[in-house]
C-alpha cells in the first residue's frame, strides 16, 4: 500500500488503495489447488501483480486461457531478454518455442529471480496449457509461433527506422493484441476484432513501456537493449546512450517527446477497439492497461526523470483507475483528461510541438464526439486537496494498525 505521506497528499486515494489491497489478498486465497494451476497463478502474481489483478475480471475458462497465454509469452520474452544467451542458442529456441508448449518435460534455464523459476518449471505451464480447450490452444500456438519468429528476426537486426520499430512492436506486442482478440472470440463473448485495431492495442502498450524503460534497457548487463529507433534518436544525439548524460538533457527530452508523439498515433484505434466490446469483464480487462498507458505517457512527456530513474503513476492513481474503470464513458473521460494533462506540458519551442498537439486534439475530438464525457466523474484533473475527514480517517486507521501490531508482538 502507498505510504502515509502519499495518502495525506492525495487522501482520495485511500479508499481505492484499501480496495486494491483487499483484492490482492483475495487473489492469493483463490489460487487453485491443482499443483500446475497453482504454480501458474502464483507465478502470474509474482511476475505481474497488476496483470494478476486485471485478469480477475474474466470468467474462469477465459481467465485460465489468458493466464497461460500470458505466461507462455512471458517465458518467450525471458529468453529474448536474456542477453547472456549466445545468439546461436537463442534464435533456435525462439523459433521452436511454439513446439515446446506441448512438451510436459521441456524447460530451459535462463532469466533471473521469478523469471528463472518460471523457466525452470515451465513444464507446469505446459501441463496447464494441455488442459485448455482446443480453440484456445490453437490461438496460443499460432501467436507464439509468429512472435518467436519475429523476435528471432530482431535478434540479428537493429531497430533502425520507424517502420522497423512498428514491426518489432508488432511481433512482441501487436501479436498479443491479435491473440487476445482470438481468445475473446473463441470464448463466444465477442466478435473478432479487426487485426489493425488489435495490433494498435498492443503497440500502444509496448511503445509506452519502451519509452518508460529507457534507462533500465540502456544499462542492461552484459549488453544494452536498444529499442528506440535510430531514425528518431539520431536527430538529437550521436549515440542512444548519450541521452542519459546530464549535458544532453535538452536534446534527450526533445527526443523523448518525439517518441511519445509517435506512440499517441495508436490512441484512437484503441478507443475504437474498446468501444466495440460487449462483455463488461473483457472490457475492464482491456481498458485498465490502456488508461494506465496514456497516463504513463502523460507523466513521461517532457520529463527528464525518464533518463534518471523510474517514472510511473503513483499507486493511488493506479488504484483509482482499477476501481473506477467500469464503462466506456470512463475510458473516454480518462483518455480526454490525460490528453489535456499532456497538452498542458507541450512547450512552443519543442521541435514536434505542432505534431504532438495535432495528435492530442484528435484524441480529444474523438472523446468529445462520443457524447459520453458528461457521464463520468473526473478523478485525474481534479484538485485533490482532500477532505479533513478522510485525513482523520487515515490517521485513525494507522493508529489502529499500529496498536494491533504492538499487541501481536506482546
Asked which of 16-20, 54-58, 177-181 is least confident by mean pLDDT, the reply is: 16-20
397 pLDDT exceeds 80?
A: no
Q: Return the pLDDT at 93.
A: 97
Q: Return the pLDDT at 225.
A: 82
The 3-state secondary structure of the chain reads CCCHHHHHHCHHHHHHHHHHHHHHHHHHHCCCCCHHHHHHHHHHHHHCHHHHHHHCCCCHHHHHHHHHHHHHHHHHHHHHHCCCCCHHHHHHHHHHHHHHCCCCCCCCCCCCHHHHHHHHCHHHHHHHHCCCCHHHHHHHHHHHHHHHHHHHHHHCCCCCCHHHHHHHHHHHHHHHHHHHHHHHHHCCCCCCCCHHHHHHHHHHHHHHHHHHCHHHHHCCCCCCCCCCCHHHHCCCCCCHHHHHCHHHHHHHHHHHHHHHHHHHCCHHHHHHHHHCCCCHHHHHHHHHHHHHHHHHHHHHCCCHHHHCCCCCCCHHHHHHHHHHCCCHHHHHHHHHHHHHHHHCCCCCCCCCHHHHHHHHHHHHHHHHHCCCHHHCCCCCCCCCCCCHHHHHHHHHHHHHHHHHHHHHHC
Mean pLDDT, the chain, integer: 91
Q: What mean pLDDT is predicted for residues 15-20? A: 75
Output 318 or 223, whichever has higher pLDDT: 318
35-47 and 60-81 are packed helices; what angle lies between their axes, rounded to 10 degrees? 60
Which pTM was predicted? 0.90
pLDDT band at 385 (very low <50, low <70, confident <90, very high): very low
Tell me which of 14, 122, 129, 212 is the catalytic residue: 212
Q: What pLDDT digit, counting tens, does each position of 255-270 carry?
A: 999 999 999 999 999 9
pLDDT band at 33 (very low <50, low <70, confident <90, very high): confident
Q: Return the pLDDT at 384.
A: 46
Q: Return the pLDDT at 6.
A: 64
| Nearest residue to 325 (alpha-carbon basis) of 271, 367, 264, 283 | 283
Q: Return the pLDDT at 390.
A: 55
Asked which of 88-97, 230-239, 345-354, 401-410 is least confident by mean pLDDT, the reply is: 401-410
Q: What mean pLDDT is predicted for residues 229-233? A: 98
* 225 has catalytic annotation: yes
Q: What mean pLDDT is predicted for residues 94-103? A: 98
> Is residue 13 a contact partner of residue 318, using CB atoms and an 8 Å limit?
no
273 pLDDT exceeds 80?
A: yes
Tell me which of 70, 122, 285, 335 is the catalytic residue: 285
Q: Return the pLDDT at 63.
A: 95
Q: What mean pLDDT is predicted for residues 351-379? A: 93
* 285 has catalytic annotation: yes
Tell me which of 168, 171, 204, 301 is the catalytic residue: 168
Q: What pLDDT digit, counting tens, does each position of 246-255 carry?
A: 999 999 999 9
Residue 267 C-alpha cell reads as 490512441
* 212 has catalytic annotation: yes
**What percent of the chain lies above the pLDDT cut of 90?**
74
Asked which of 188-197, 237-246, 295-304, 376-385 is least confident by mean pLDDT, the reply is: 376-385
Q: Return the pLDDT at 16.
A: 74
Q: What mean pLDDT is predicted for residues 205-228? A: 92
Tell me which of 63, 225, 230, 314 is the catalytic residue: 225
163 pLDDT exceeds 90?
A: yes
Output 347 or 396, whichever has higher pLDDT: 347
* 168 has catalytic annotation: yes
Q: What pLDDT digit, counting tens, does each position of 55-88 carry?
A: 887 999 999 999 999 999 999 999 999 989 999 9
Amino acid at each position: 500500500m502507498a505510504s502515509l505521506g502519499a495518502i495525506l497528499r492525495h487522501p482520495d486515494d485511500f479508499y481505492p488503495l484499501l480496495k486494491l489491497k483487499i483484492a490482492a489478498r483475495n487473489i492469493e486465497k483463490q489460487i487453485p489447488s491443482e499443483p500446475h494451476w497453482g504454480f501458474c497463478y502464483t507465478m502470474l502474481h509474482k511476475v505481474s501483480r497488476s496483470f494478476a489483478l486485471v485478469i480477475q475480471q474474466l470468467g474462469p475458462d477465459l481467465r485460465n486461457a489468458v493466464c497461460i497465454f500470458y505466461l507462455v509469452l512471458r517465458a518467450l520474452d525471458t529468453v529474448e531478454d536474456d542477453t547472456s544467451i549466445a545468439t546461436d542458442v537463442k534464435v533456435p529456441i525462439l523459433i521452436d518455442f511454439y513446439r515446446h508448449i506441448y512438451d510436459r518435460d521441456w524447460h530451459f534455464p535462463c532469466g533471473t529471480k521469478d523469471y528463472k523459476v518460471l523457466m525452470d518449471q515451465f513444464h507446469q505451464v505446459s501441463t496447464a496449457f494441455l488442459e485448455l480447450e482446443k480453440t484456445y490452444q490453437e490461438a496460443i500456438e499460432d501467436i507464439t509461433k509468429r512472435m518467436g519468429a519475429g523476435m528471432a528476426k530482431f535478434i540479428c537486426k537493429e531497430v533502425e527506422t520507424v517502420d522497423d520499430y512498428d514491426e518489432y512492436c508488432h511481433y512482441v506486442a501487436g501479436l498479443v493484441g491479435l491473440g487476445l482478440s482470438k481468445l475473446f472470440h473463441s470464448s463466444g463473448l465477442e466478435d473478432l476484432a479487426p487485426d489493425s485495431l488489435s495490433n494498435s492495442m498492443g503497440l500502444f502498450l509496448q511503445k509506452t513501456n519502451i519509452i518508460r524503460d529507457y534507462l533500465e534497457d540502456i544499462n542492461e548487463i552484459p549488453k544494452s537493449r536498444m529499442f528506440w529507433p535510430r531514425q528518431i534518436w539520431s536527430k538529437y544525439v550521436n549515440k542512444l546512450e548519450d541521452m542519459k548524460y546530464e549535458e544532453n538533457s535538452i536534446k534527450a527530452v526533445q527526443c523523448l517527446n518525439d517518441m511519445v508523439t509517435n506512440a499517441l498515433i495508436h490512441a484512437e484505434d484503441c478507443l475504437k477497439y474498446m468501444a466495440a466490446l460487449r462483455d463488461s469483464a473483457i472490457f475492464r480487462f482491456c481498458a485498465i492497461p490502456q488508461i494506465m498507458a496514456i497516463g504513463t505517457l502523460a507523466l513521461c512527456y517532457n520529463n527528464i526523470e525518464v533518463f534518471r530513474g523510474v517514472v510511473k503513476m503513483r499507486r493511488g492513481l493506479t488504484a483509482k483507475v482499477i476501481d473506477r474503470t467500469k464503462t466506456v464513458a470512463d475510458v473516454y473521460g480518462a483518455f480526454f483528461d490525460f490528453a489535456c494533462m499532456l497538452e498542458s506540458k507541450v512547450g512552443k519551442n519543442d521541435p514536434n510541438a505542432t505534431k504532438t498537439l495535432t495528435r492530442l486534439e484528435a484524441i480529444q475530438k474523438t472523446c468529445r464526439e462520443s457524447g459520453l464525457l458528461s457521464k463520468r466523474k473526473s478523478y485525474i484533473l481534479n484538485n485533490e486537496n482532500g477532505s479533513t475527514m478522510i485525513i482523520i480517517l487515515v490517521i485513525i486507521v494507522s493508529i489502529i494498525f499500529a496498536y494491533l501490531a504492538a499487541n501481536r508482538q506482546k
